[in-house]
Homo-oligomer: A and B are copies of this chain.
């Protein structure tokens, strides 16, 4: 056993991991070819993370080292395994923009498309999730995603920066995926794990890139429990 454990967000099914941030770390580990044991974690299990003095997943336990936060995990993996696939090809600072776009445009956009599908996956923590998210959005979750089919074209239009990149190269990282791909892909896996809504059209360059990412690292993401949309 590698002694490497990743605490990951799930609902009733411990194998259906759906946090965008957990997917960043999961994909980063896969790209680097590093095995890990997944430790399922639910929204309300704050006490289970007390050991890390942190209240969110992902948290990586790597031998004796505890690394909370997906961004810290990426840097940790490159530092401890410099000879396998580089996640960060330049200084970490140069990855902040793709992260800023993902966190302020892509993920909020996806959230408004899928959030009402998430409660069905949850167990005891369902009430907590619904209450906290309805407070955040200021409305019922069903209202957040109302007319989502009609809003799909506007959502897809926000992906134009990705399309510009894929005209020139197959991955954000260039000829091969790097951590920028993990960041953006994480949000798409959040959608794919939780919602049957087809976010992308098959003739979209972003769809083709997502297919490549699903097949990357031995098809790890392709094999994950998903709606497949």
Q: Which of A7-15, A30-38, A162-170 lies on the face that meets chain B?
A: A162-170
Q: A99-B164, A104-B160 are in contact. Are A90 and B93 (CB under 8 A)?
A: no
Q: By the criterion CB–CB under 8 Å, are A169 and B93 in contact?
A: yes
Q: By the criterion CB–CB under 8 Å, are B93 and A91 in contact?
A: no
Q: By the criterion CB–CB under 8 Å, are B101 and A97 in contact?
A: yes
Residue of A91, A161, A171, A178 most packed against chain B (CB within 10 A):
A161
Considering the complex, give the chain B residue whose CB is closest to the CB of A174: B93
Q: How far is the CB of A169 from chain B (nearest CB, A)?
A: 5
- Name A151-198 residues within 8 Å CB distance of B: 160-165, 168-169, 171-175, 178, 180
Task: Give the number of copies in the complex.
Answer: 2
Please, which residues of chain B bring their CB within 8 A of the CB of A160? 100, 104-105
Please, which residues of chain B bring their CB within 8 A of the CB of A180? 94, 97
Q: How far is the CB of A185 from chain B (nearest CB, A)?
A: 13
Considering the complex, give the chain B residue whose CB is closest to the CB of A183: B97
Q: How far is A172 from B95 in the complex, measured between Cα atoms in Å? A: 9
Q: By the criterion CB–CB under 8 Å, are A168 and B96 in contact?
A: yes
A103 at the interface (CB under 8 A from B): yes
Please, which residues of chain B bring their CB within 8 A of the CB of A96? 164-165, 168-169, 172
Please, which residues of chain B bring their CB within 8 A of the CB of A101? 97, 101, 161, 164
Q: How far is A95 from B100 in the complex, measured between Cα atoms in Å? A: 14
- Flag A71-89 by CB within 8 Å of B: 1 or 0 each: 0000000000000000011
Q: By the criterion CB–CB under 8 Å, are B99 and A94 in contact?
A: no
Please, which residues of chain B bring their CB within 8 A of the CB of A103? 164
A110 at the interface (CB under 8 A from B): no
A49 at the interface (CB under 8 A from B): no
Beyond the given A94-B178, A104-B164, could you list 11 further A-B residue pairs with CB under 8 A, ordered by the A residue number?
Answer: A91-B174, A92-B174, A96-B165, A97-B97, A100-B160, A100-B162, A100-B164, A100-B165, A103-B164, A104-B161, A105-B161
